[in-house]
Amino acid sequence: MIQQTADEIIAGRRLNREDDLSFLINGDLEALRKAANKIRENLCGNHVNLCSIINGRAGRCSENCKFCAQSAHNPTGAKEYDLLNADEVIEACKKNEAYGVHKFSIVTAGRTLCGGAFEQAVNIYSRMNEECPNISLCASHGLLTEDQFVRLRESGVTMYHANIETSRRNFPNICTTHTFDDKIKCIKAAQKAGLEVCSGGILGMGETWEDRLDMALTLSELNIDSIPLNALMPIKGTPLQDLPVLTEDEILRSVALFRFINPTAHIRLAAGRNLMSESGKEAFFSGANATITTLKYVSIPAVLCLTQNKLSCV
Ligand code: SF4
């Protein structure tokens, strides 16, 4: 049944809320991983897409996301600083470009980015677009308007990052200063402005397997291009500090589940790779085909080991 469904997906079928999806939760993990890997091979090829971010502004966020070190509601002692200067960001972008990283994003803490800080960011993107022609630009600045997305696109940004974070049902347990619908509205505005969207979330925040299914279906319904999957790394000082971390099997099943429901998207490993053996190597053979990385860890070893197993970084 698992293999047959995978073959149907490769032939063009797409799973939706009308389907019996219980096999993704209860099916044999090895069979599920193998089938998800086959979907990835057939519909995405053997390339690993790498992206990197710079924390462009940190701390003092008005929002109360329970997982986040940047929230002013959470006493985490995390660094606080205003928007970095352009030269610092462009230097980081050039380094990533030289390493062959495919996408680079400025991420700013805060509900949104507006006024002078937004104008500053637009100028930085315009300069990166000119000075770093071999890397795609992504942006992550919270809840923006369609007009702001148009400005970002005109400055050279091609993708916007806005995580839905968790399922619609679980979202109010994680954040109450903005809503799940605020997120959806933001994603649709970015798409309307002509941007691709990167949206996923954090697993291990008290959600059920049904919530994970619902989250994957929501992303499929939104036609999301890139889905970052984080495993919660509980941070001291946040309300989620005492939650247990996910097991490797839970992460691998989640990756396979998201691949079955989003067969052509980039399924992108993010935080939590270190919870798995060999930097999450098995996740790349369970449906993942992308990862966020840092120069410190570009995971040259991880990329090499993937290459040896026929996944290559292109
Ligand atoms: S809006 Fe972003 S920066 Fe602010 S608390 Fe939530 S996740 Fe953190």
Residues ≥6 apart with Cβ < 8 Å to 55: 107, 108, 109
What integer pLDDT is reported at residue 296 of this predicted model? 53
Coil, helix or strand at residue 97: helix
How many whole angstroms from 9 Cα to the centroid of ligand 1?
A: 35
Which residue puts its alpha carbon closest to atom 6 of ligand 1?
Answer: 65
Q: How high is the pLDDT of residue 304?
A: 42
Q: Give the mean pLDDT of 5-18.
A: 98
Ligand 1 atom nearest to CA at 62: 4
Instruction: Give 152-206 as a DSSP string.
Output: HHHTTEEEEE---BS-TTTHHHH-SSS-HHHHHHHHHHHHHTT-EEE--EEE-SS
Residue 300 domain-assigned?
Answer: no
At residue 284, what are phi and psi to the nearest 5 degrees?
-70, -15
For residues 45 and 298, the model is more confident at 45
**257 in a domain, yes or no?**
yes
On whether residue 154 sits in a domain, the answer given is: yes
Distance 105 CA to ligand 1 centre (A): 16
- pLDDT above 90 for 136: yes
User: How many domains does the chain divide into?
Assistant: 1
* Bridge partners, 140 (sequence order): 107
Residues with CB under 6 A from ligand 1: 61, 63, 65, 68, 70-71, 109-111, 142
Nearest CA residue ID for atom 5, ligand 1: 71
**Domain assignment present for 89:** yes
pTM of the model: 0.93
CA 72 to chain centre: 23
Which residue type is seen at 206? Answer: G
Q: What is the mean pLDDT of the chain?
A: 92
Residue 142's pLDDT band, with cuts at 50, 70 and 90, is: very high
Q: Calculate the alpha carbon distances from 74 to 12, 79, 141, 175, 275 in Å.
A: 45, 13, 20, 12, 24
Decide which of 11 and 100 is more confident.
11
Cα–ligand 1 centroid distance for 32 (angstroms)? 34
Band (100; pLDDT cuts 50, 70, 90):
confident
The β-bridge relationship of strands 290-292 and 266-269 is: parallel
User: For position 29, which CATH number holds?
Assistant: 3.20.20.70
Q: Say if CB 295 and CB 99 are below 8 A apart.
A: yes
pLDDT at 308 (0 to 100): 46
Structural domain range at position 61 = 2-295
Please report whether residue 53 resides in a domain: yes
Q: What is the pLDDT of residues 259-291, one digit of tens each?
A: 999 999 999 999 888 888 887 889 999 999 999
pLDDT the model gives residue 279: 79
Residue 156 clears pLDDT 50, i.e. is over it: yes
What is the pLDDT, as a whole number, of residue 43?
97
Q: In the prediction, which pLDDT does 57 show?
A: 92
Distance from C-alpha of 295 to C-alpha of 36, rounded to nearest angstrom: 29
Mean of pLDDT values over 134-141? 96
Q: How confident is the model at residue 295 (pLDDT cuts 50, 70, 90)?
A: low
Contacts of 206 (CB under 8 A, 6+ apart): 170, 173, 240, 243
Average pLDDT over residues 75-81: 92
Choose the weakest-confidence range: 93-97, 196-200, 222-226, 292-296. Answer: 292-296
Per-residue pLDDT at 225 exceeds 70: yes
pLDDT category of residue 299 using cuts at 50, 70 and 90: very low
Q: Is residue 54 part of a domain?
A: yes
In a domain, 310, yes or no: no
Task: Give me the helices (H) in 45-141, please.
Answer: 86-99, 115-131
